[in-house]
A and B are shown apart, each in its own frame.
Chain A
Amino acid sequence: MSTATPLAYLSAAGPRAGAIVPLTWFTLVVSILVCLIIGVLLWRGVRRGRAHASDVETRAVQITHGAPGIRWIRVGLLCSALPLLIALVWTMATLAAVSGPPQGAQLVLDVTGHQWWWEVTYSGAEPSQTFSTANEIHVPTRARVLVRLHGADVIHSFWVPKLTGKTDTIPGQTNLAWFEATAAGRYRGQCTEYCGAQHAHMGLEVVAESPGDFEHWRQLQLHPANEPTSAAQSRGRELVEFRCGLCHQVRGTSAGARSAPDLTHVAGRRTLAAGLLPNNPGTLSGWIENPQGFKPGTLMPNQGLTGQQLSDVVAYLETLR
């Protein structure tokens, strides 16, 4: 079920989302029960009436004061008040438990919402221990992760349903979110505050892995870009530095701009374009050639590369694992 509906949240994979699930079920079940009860009362009340009626039939039925009926209002209010009170108290308790920030976060991330991608920065004690990636957040399992949320342009909203509820990224302020993944797995997320043309395609993925695997990944990310080993890759690197470097960063080369995703290890990510495309040489090539075709309105213009240039660039980028 969870892979069939990756953004569903009636079951959770971490304590912050998990604490909300029972309350969600409670309010849902109460709601459904209320609708059923009211529906039955309505149906039975109406069934006593004269059907196929018009003005003539209306006039034919004598008016009457009827029973006072105030009791229904009193009883109804009382019955309503009880689940409302329970929901109120439970809400306060849950809010206190999950709002955070968590004590003793083991990992602190800076996530910045851009139109239409997620910049994720892992900070270390010094600059050489700091790196940025995009749209794919790796975390160790069973670790409290504090996320500092920043807004680069417009308001976005950070949401990974199985792990945490939504928190907006707002320019001018830093919001805090936190989560913890109980088990290893890939957890989908998506932007959930309308942010422009490609709001629909601003996904992200949290990859929870064992602490050993996570550390391995982190060390890998700290490495600068791999050196090219073929002529095509060298040509490709030159093009990347010269063209892509206007917006993208590839650490270890002269491509150093920060307005677009960091590509130093782009080939190691599972998807491209914030979850829109699977990441393989074919889609990478198609994306570079015609980003507007896949994600109309995206801020990356079509590059107008020749066939040879394109294959060189892809050859190089594919080495950036």
Chain B
Amino acid sequence: MRVADARAPRFGPDSPQHSMRLLDLWEGPGGLRGFLGTVDHKRIGIRYIVTAFIFLLVGGLEALLMRLQLAGPNHTLLTPEQYDELFSTHGITMIFLYASPVLSGFSNYLWPLLLGSRDMAFPRANALGYWIYLASGIFLYVGFLSGHGANDGWFNYVPYALKPYNPGLNQDFYSLGMVFLGIATTIGAANFMVTALRTRAPGMSIDRLPILVWGTLTANAANLIVVPAVSLAFLMLWMDRQFGTHFFDNSNGGQPLLWQHLFWLFGHPWVYAIVLPAMGMVSDGLPVFCRRPLVGYSLVAVATVATMILGFGVWVHHMFATGLPGLGMSFFSAASIVITLPSAVAVFAWLATIWYGRPVITTAFLFFASMILLFVIGGVSGFMTASVPVDWQLTDTYFVVAHLHYVLIGINVFPVVGAVYFWFPKMTGRLLDERLGRWNFWTMFIGFNLAFLPMHLTGLWGMPRRVYTYAPDMGWNTLNLITSIGSFVFALGILLLMVNVWRSLRRGALAGANPWDAPTLEWSIASPPPVYNFAVIPTVASRHPLWEGRLEGSESRSTVDQGLLLDHGKEMIGTTALDAVPDMILEMPEDTLIPLLLTLGVSACFVGLILQVWWVLVLGALVGAAALLGWLWPRRALREREPLHG
């Protein structure tokens, strides 16, 4: 039977037969095969979130061990080597294995639902991204658990990372592990970019995108450009260590500062990439509980992009003590001060939304609102370090440790936990317990501030970073004790979150489609959503489809109960980039084990590289190449080729 190459997609309402047909088309195989081969963005998104939270807990345990060691002067709980591997692995785990993947997970789960679509643009690549993330995380932890954990901090300066000072496999696990993880980040970035620009619901023009989409899109566009810098740096480091090259070692013209430039060219945009999507979550979630649209949507969207663009131009502020010429440093200092402004736009937008709204204080609201204060505290300590001469005193002390925890926990963890309370009902069909939620929030909030607010003073009183112990006569004893106590209270708060999730999965109150009476498209479908998301593709006419008609003066009328049926196959609609006019019907791939197979091949490559057993490398490359060929082989079902003799 010849299949139509073009058609006018039918428009109409849902019906039981239609839903059955979609279920048939979209449901993959069950059992182990289905588990390993799924390309459903919802399942992949939840996997990212769960895995990221496991790494959060592991990284948290590492932190608690360190805080026990530092609770008083001259403790001997940990040897220097143990402490050094702990602080390094803690940073790496939190920044690379938790902060970015958890946001990828939420975005993966939510984007098609927010965009009125049935999946991401590249479902198979989506699966691949997760498997590679998992494999690289395991790779890094095999290093740590076998006594070869990274031991030079997360930014890993040379020459200490080079072989003469670091002969074990520690640095090799970190270097290769980062190159490995970078593959997942890049794949995810490509997926988000194409999804955002080409697979939205009809009518969802660029100025109707939820801010979460703006934040994630901006972050991933940046990742696409800067991840190669860090992958290259780590490849060069590995080669200096194992093959006698001289990129960084200055015995033959190598440049230790080249490492710092390459790393921070990546590292600074990266820290914006791990907060901008979370800020987007707040921008989308907070207004729901203020019962009104976000104040200044356009300004917030533009500020998101502006922050990221400016974020490319500040990396040298991590290098103010390296002896660079004053003129150059002045430029980066100025840029680092100026970048406060677009960041501040969101803060004022949120405050105005609360002030001019009618706040309803749920647990999600508490996390989203408190984040504003934590953001500002983290932001002003950043402002202080932006000034070169002040930074000469503040840098590499606990002041910076306080700063980075306020920005990372304040602008990533708190919004993420808020997002859990907000979207858990959509994902599972059940609400989290509100009473336990209050305990969760206050324990986390009090514990966090108890731990990290005094740390500013610890830094102003000169305690350097990355010290496994300190003398009793430096004036830091009480402050460190308070911080250690606070860290355990904070950990208790995280535990309460886990308890709430565990209990509510079984016994939480049923949520229904839209428990929060929220405006965006994901709340128009069942909780949890059917595998195909939308039985009919909605047509969008505003930023708040489900609030139209109730917002005074709003004339727009999106349609959610009627729309494109797209039931001739596993189909989605492709739309233009700016105005979201439908311009093609997309045929989507079935579940497949190929991404997993490709991951196994790539993993074998990295195992071969670290052990320098070359036949394993070659075998892995062959398996990977075969998997890739099978993946890219043109398929009729996806319309990548003509049917034979047709």
> Chain A residues in contact with chain B, CB under 8 A?
4-10, 17, 19-20, 23-24, 27-28, 30-32, 34-35, 38-39, 41-42, 44-46, 48-55, 57-59, 61-73, 75-77, 80-81, 84, 87-88, 90-92, 94-96, 98-99, 115, 149, 153-155, 157, 159, 161, 164-168, 170-173, 175-176, 190-200, 296-297
Contacts and interface: CB of A to CB of B under 8 A. Distances in A.
Contacts of B469: 200
Given A165-B321, A199-B467, A8 B460 contact: yes
The 3 A-B pairs of least Cβ separation, nearest first, read A165-B392, A7-B462, A49-B359
B351 A84 contact: no
A15 B289 CA distance: 53
Interface stretch (B213-221, B332-340, B599-607): B332-340
Nearest to B364: A58
B390 A41 contact: no
B434 interface: yes
Contact of B353 (A54, A58, A69): A69
* Interface core residue of B290, B292, B348, B355 (most chain A CB under 10 Å): B348
B462 A161 contact: yes
A55 B431 contact: yes
B299 to A, nearest CB: 6
B511 interface: yes
Contact of A57 (B349, B360, B391): B360
Given A6-B474, A53-B361, A54-B362, A166 B384 contact: no
Contacts of B394: 24
Contacts of A166: 321, 392-393, 395-396
Nearest to A23: B390
Contacts of A50: 358-361
A88 B396 CA distance: 22
Interface in B262-296: 288-293, 295-296
B147 interface: no
B437 to A, nearest CB: 9
Given A73-B349, A153-B165, A172-B256, A191 B464 contact: yes
15 contacts: A20-B390, A50-B361, A55-B516, A65-B554, A66-B353, A73-B296, A77-B341, A81-B341, A84-B383, A92-B333, A154-B157, A159-B396, A194-B160, A194-B466, A200-B468
Given A7-B463, A27-B387, 12 more contacts: A55-B431, A58-B362, A65-B553, A66-B356, A92-B334, A96-B326, A115-B165, A165-B321, A166-B393, A170-B323, A194-B160, A200-B470
Contacts of A62: 291, 358, 550
B383 A27 contact: yes
A65 B293 contact: yes
Contacts of A171: 159, 250, 256
Interface string B154-166: 0001111000110
A51 B360 CA distance: 6
Contacts of A159: 396
Contacts of A46: 354, 359, 361, 369
Interface stretch (B18-26, B107-115, B373-381, B590-598): B373-381
A59 B348 contact: no
A38 B439 CA distance: 24
Nearest to A149: B323
A278 B274 CA distance: 46
A153 B163 CA distance: 12
A20 B468 CA distance: 29
B291 A63 contact: yes
A99 B601 CA distance: 53
B326 A99 contact: yes
A49 B462 contact: no
Contacts of A170: 256-257, 322-323
Contact of A48 (B157, B359, B390): B359
A125 B126 CA distance: 69
Contact of B351 (A41, A49, A164): A41
A199 B372 CA distance: 36
A194 B56 CA distance: 24
* Interface core residue of A81, A87, A98 (most chain B CB under 10 Å): A87
A255 B434 CA distance: 74
Contact of B337 (A17, A35, A88, A297): A88
B579 to A, nearest CB: 25
B529 interface: no
Contacts of A71: 352
* Interface core residue of A8, A58, A63 (most chain B CB under 10 Å): A63
Contacts of A4: 475
Contact of A76 (B291, B347, B391, B515): B347
Given A166-B395, A167-B321, A192-B465, A88 B334 contact: yes
Contacts of B395: 166, 192
B330 interface: yes
A165 B372 contact: no
B345 A5 contact: no
Contact of A8 (B288, B377, B462, B552): B462
Contacts of A95: 326, 329-330, 333, 388-389
Nearest to A298: B80
Nearest to A275: B471
A91 B389 contact: yes
